[in-house]
């Protein structure tokens, strides 16, 4: 299959990840001070509302495949993009905390479902030698959303909070429209096997990947949530320097997906994951002791590449370990649930620890580096695991 035939599906996938994850999650971060200042909600409620998206992401990761079985992948993705667009428009009207929480929860559900479905919909139409790069291009949308949160939201805020939410909704609607006809046709659903038939055993390395991916999620949360506050208040550099560092984080988020996807194609996913985890552990450790703007900017680029970049690497690792397309979808769905679960739990745990320690940012970054170190060490556990689990019985 020529690259030109897969360009439109890849672009549609990029739009979906930009809208459902990049904007729906990360555009909320720079809105937090304005939400409090405008007295839309109390400071405690704003934090609570921020967590709604992470909880919704977990729900969406669980519901993505069942929704696709009913509607088909293409229609499910279109529906998710329409729903997140509706959520942006609805958030322009702060009718109540419950109203806002419900729409933020829905935006998270769409993101989780998109994460589960988008690669499974697009990558079968991409040549095998370019799947890593293609998956990086799809999830580049997450990085673009992070970058937009630092560059697009501040000008919109000059027109007020309602206009900001409406502007995000308008952008989401535009991306939904231009990607509408770019989705490829759904692949036929696999036929059910007869009762009692056995299927190929799942390699133990797949379950190991689930564990690694979970600790990666725990490791990326502190910088994702607290980096700007660390620079602005923790180091006393002020909000302007904090915003500049966040822009550098966004730059890393743009570079990450394609770069990590290229690593998967050139080095293999397993070696790519090893290399990236080592670099991230070192960067997080240095972040805890860095004070100069130059050091913070460089580290922000490196760390910012991780949240969207690790997705194509983990997906490529699933494809290395599981040859069958249907089983790849199942494995990727479970990996996303593992990631979403630990991300949500880590978000609450780090927030509680931050409050309990009186705002010790450096401690959070050290713990994050430790979580990444655990993910590295899990790789060595593979030698003690059996090569595969026992065959399962496939039921109708």
Q: Which string of DSSP letters, residue by residue, matches 323-392?
A: -SHHHHHHHHHHHHHHHHHHHHHHHHHHHHHHHHTTS-HHHHHHHHHHHHHHHHHHHHGGGGS-SBPPPP
The two domains 1-180 and 202-385 share their CATH topology (first three levels equal): yes
Q: What are phi and psi of 155, to 5 degrees?
A: -65, -35
* Overall pTM > 0.85: no
- The domain ranges of the chain are 1-180, 202-385
CATH number of 202-385, picked from 3.40.140.10, 1.20.1250.20, 3.30.1370.60, 1.20.144.10 = 1.20.1250.20
Could you give the CA distance from residue 126 to residue 122 in angstroms, rounded to a whole number? Answer: 7
Evaluate whether 228 touches 29 at the Cβ level (below 8 Å). Answer: yes
The 8-class DSSP code of residue 198 comes to E
CA atoms of 352 and 332, how far apart (whole Å): 30
Let me know how long the chain is. 396
Rounded distance, CA 279 to CA 8, Å? 33
Query: In the CATH scheme, what architecture does the domain 1-180 have?
Result: Up-down Bundle (1.20)
pLDDT tens-place values along the chain, 396 residues long: 444 456 888 888 889 989 988 888 888 877 777 787 777 887 677 767 777 888 888 898 888 888 988 888 889 999 999 999 999 999 999 888 889 889 999 999 999 899 888 888 887 777 776 776 777 788 888 888 888 877 788 788 888 889 999 999 999 999 999 989 888 877 665 544 444 444 566 677 888 888 898 999 999 888 887 887 788 778 888 767 877 888 888 889 888 888 888 888 888 888 888 899 999 999 999 999 988 889 999 999 999 998 888 888 888 888 888 877 778 778 888 888 888 888 888 877 887 788 788 778 889 999 999 999 999 988 776 666 554 443 343 443
């Amino acid at each position: 299959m020529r690259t030109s035939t897969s360009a439109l599906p890849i672009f549609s996938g990029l739009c979906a990840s930009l809208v459902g994850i990049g904007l729906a999650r990360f555009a909320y971060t720079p809105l937090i001070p304005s939400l409090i200042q405008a007295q839309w909600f109390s400071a405690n409620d704003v934090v609570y509302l921020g967590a709604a998206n992470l909880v919704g992401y977990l729900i969406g990761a669980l519901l993505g495949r069942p929704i696709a079985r009913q509607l088909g992948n293409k229609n499910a993705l279109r529906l998710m993009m329409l729903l997140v667009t509706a959520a942006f428009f609805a958030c322009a009207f702060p009718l109540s905390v419950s109203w806002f929480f419900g729409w933020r929860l829905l935006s998270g559900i769409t993101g989780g479902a998109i994460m589960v479905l988008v690669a499974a919909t697009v990558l079968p139409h991409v040549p095998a030698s370019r799947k890593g790069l293609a998956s990086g291009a799809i999830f580049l949308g997450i990085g673009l959303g992070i970058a937009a949160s630092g560059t697009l939201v501040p000008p919109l805020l000059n027109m007020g909070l309602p206009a900001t939410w409406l502007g995000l909704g308008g952008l989401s609607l535009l991306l939904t429209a231009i990607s509408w006809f770019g989705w490829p046709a759904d692949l036929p659903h696999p036929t059910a096997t007869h009762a009692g038939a056995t299927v190929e055993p799942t390699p133990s390395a797949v379950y190991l990947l689930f564990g690694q991916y979970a600790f990666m999620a725990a490791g990326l949360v502190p910088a994702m949530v607290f980096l700007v506050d660390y620079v602005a208040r923790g180091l006393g550099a002020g909000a302007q320097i904090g915003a500049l560092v966040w822009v550098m984080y966004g730059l890393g988020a743009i570079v990450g997906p394609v770069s990590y996807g290229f690593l998967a194609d050139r080095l293999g996913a397993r070696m790519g994951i090893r290399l990236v985890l080592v670099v991230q552990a070192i960067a997080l450790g240095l972040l805890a002791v860095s004070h100069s703007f130059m050091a913070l900017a460089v580290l922000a680029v490196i760390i910012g590449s991780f949240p969207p970049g690790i997705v194509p690497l983990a997906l490529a690792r699933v494809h290395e370990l599981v040859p069958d397309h249907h089983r790849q979808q199942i494995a990727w769905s479970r990996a996303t649930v593992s990631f979403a679960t630990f991300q949500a739990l880590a978000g609450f745990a780090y927030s509680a620890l931050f409050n309990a320690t009186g705002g010790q940012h450096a401690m959070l970054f050290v713990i994050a580096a430790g979580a990444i170190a655990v993910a590295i060490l899990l790789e060595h556990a593979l030698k003690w695991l059996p090569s595969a689990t026992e065959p399962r019985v496939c039921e109708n």
